[in-house]
Amino acid sequence: MADKSPITTTKLLEMKQKGVKITALTAYDAPSARLLNEAGVDVILVGDSVGMVKLGYENTLPVTLEEMLHHVKAVKKGNSRSLLVADMPYLSYEIDLKDTLKAAGRLIKEGGAHAVKLEGGMEVAPMVKELLKINIPVMGHLGLTPQAVHRLGGYKVQGRKPQEAERILTEARVLEGSGIFSLVLECVPPELAREVTRKLSIPTIGIGAGAHCDGQILVLDDMLGLGDSPPLKFVKRYAELRPAMLKAVSSYCREVRDGAFPAAEHAFVSLKAE
C-alpha cells in the first residue's frame, strides 16, 4: 500500500538516500493544494512567484510578507500531506536578523508552513543558522534567483562559466554546512546540477536544471498551461487549460446573450400553494 504519512524534511533526506525522486510544485490556494495532495506531490511551495502568476506584478520584488501569509494560509487549509514550504519575500530576510526571524516565524506560526525558502548563497548562511536555532527548517535557492533579477541583468542561465559554476558549488556547500534541508537549483546547466547533487548529502530540487537533481519543481500554472505567455524552455506543458477555459467563458457569454443559459434545469421550481 502507498505510504500516505505526511512528508517531512527527514523523509526527503531518506528519499535522496534511497534514490527516490522528489516531486514538488507551487500552489497559491486551497483547491490547488488539495489537488496536489490527491496527486501525491511531496512538496508544495507557496512561491513568491505568486506575485507574477496571480497578483499581476512584473517580477517577484513587490511581494509583501502579508501577501505571502494570505496565500500560505489558504494553501495550509487545503494541504494534508505535502511538506509545505513558504518563500520569504524580498527584503524580509536580507537586512536585519530580528526581522528575518519574525518574518519566518509568522509564516510558520500564522501561515502554517512547515519550512521557509530563501534565495542566495554565503550572505544568507548566517540567517539560516539563526532560523534553525528557533526550529525553522530552511530550503536554499541558488542559480537563477529571481529576487536578484536586476543584479543578474535578467532571467539568465547561471553557472555556465567554470568560475561561476565553482562559486555555485561552493555556495551550495556553505548552505549545506549552515543547515539547509534541501536546495533549489534554478536554471543552471545539467552538469553543474549533477555535480552539486553528487557533492551534497541533502536533496537538490531542480527547475530548468536538467534531470540529475534529486527532485523537480515547476510552477503549477506553467505546467497546466494556465498562463497567457508562451512556456519557458524548461517548462513541460502537461495540459493546455487556458484555451479550454477561454472556450468555456466565451460559450457562457454567448449563451447568456442569446438566452440559452440558464435553461429550465438550472432554475428552481416554485412550491405549490397548500
Does the N-terminal peptide bond of residue 262 adopt cis geometry, omega within 30 degrees of 0? yes
> Quick one: 26 or 79, whose CB is closer to ligand KIV?
26
**Alpha-carbon gap, residue 206 to 271, rounded angstroms:** 60
Q: Are 127 and 93 in contact (CB under 8 A)?
A: yes
Identify which range of 40-48, 149-157, 166-174, 189-197 contacts ligand KIV by CB under 6 A.
Answer: 40-48
Q: Which of 27, 43, 47, 107 binds ligand KIV (CB under 6 A)?
A: 47
Q: Are 186 and 207 in contact (CB under 8 A)?
A: yes
Return the residue nearest ligand KIV (CB atom): 47
- 219 contributes a contact to ligand KIV by CB under 6 A: yes
**Alpha-carbon gap, residue 222 to 230, rounded angstroms:** 9
Identify which range of 30-38, 46-54, 154-162, 194-202 contacts ligand KIV by CB under 6 A.
Answer: 46-54
Q: Are 147 and 61 in contact (CB under 8 A)?
A: yes
Told to judge if 186 belongs to the known catalytic residues of this protein, a careful annotator would answer: yes
Scanning the structure block, which residue is given the C-alpha cell 548566517?
A: 126
> Quick one: 15 or 68, whose CB is closer to ligand KIV?
68
> Quick one: 47 or 120, whose CB is closer to ligand KIV?
47
- 213 contributes a contact to ligand KIV by CB under 6 A: no
- 89 contributes a contact to ligand KIV by CB under 6 A: no
User: 57 is written with which cell numbers?
Assistant: 506584478
- 224 contributes a contact to ligand KIV by CB under 6 A: no
Alpha-helical regions (H) of the chain: 9-18, 30-39, 50-53, 65-78, 97-109, 125-133, 149-152, 162-178, 190-199, 220-223, 241-258
- 86 contributes a contact to ligand KIV by CB under 6 A: no
DSSP run (H or E) holding 55: none
Give least dist CB 14 to ligand KIV, A: 22
Q: Which residue of the set 176, 186, 191, 195 is catalytic?
A: 186
Q: Which of 217, 221, 224, 225 binds ligand KIV (CB under 6 A)?
A: 217
Q: Are 136 and 105 in contact (CB under 8 A)?
A: yes
**Alpha-carbon gap, residue 203 to 260, rounded angstroms:** 55
Phi then psi dihedrals of residue 84, to 5 deg:
-100, 110
- 124 contributes a contact to ligand KIV by CB under 6 A: no
Identify which range of 5-13, 41-49, 73-81, 91-99 contacts ligand KIV by CB under 6 A.
Answer: 41-49
- 48 contributes a contact to ligand KIV by CB under 6 A: yes
- 26 contributes a contact to ligand KIV by CB under 6 A: yes
- 207 contributes a contact to ligand KIV by CB under 6 A: yes
Strand partners, 10: none
Q: Which of 27, 107, 184, 213 binds ligand KIV (CB under 6 A)?
A: 184
**Active-site amino acid positions:** 186
By CB under 6 A, name the binding residues for ligand KIV.
26, 45, 47-49, 87, 184, 186, 207, 217, 219
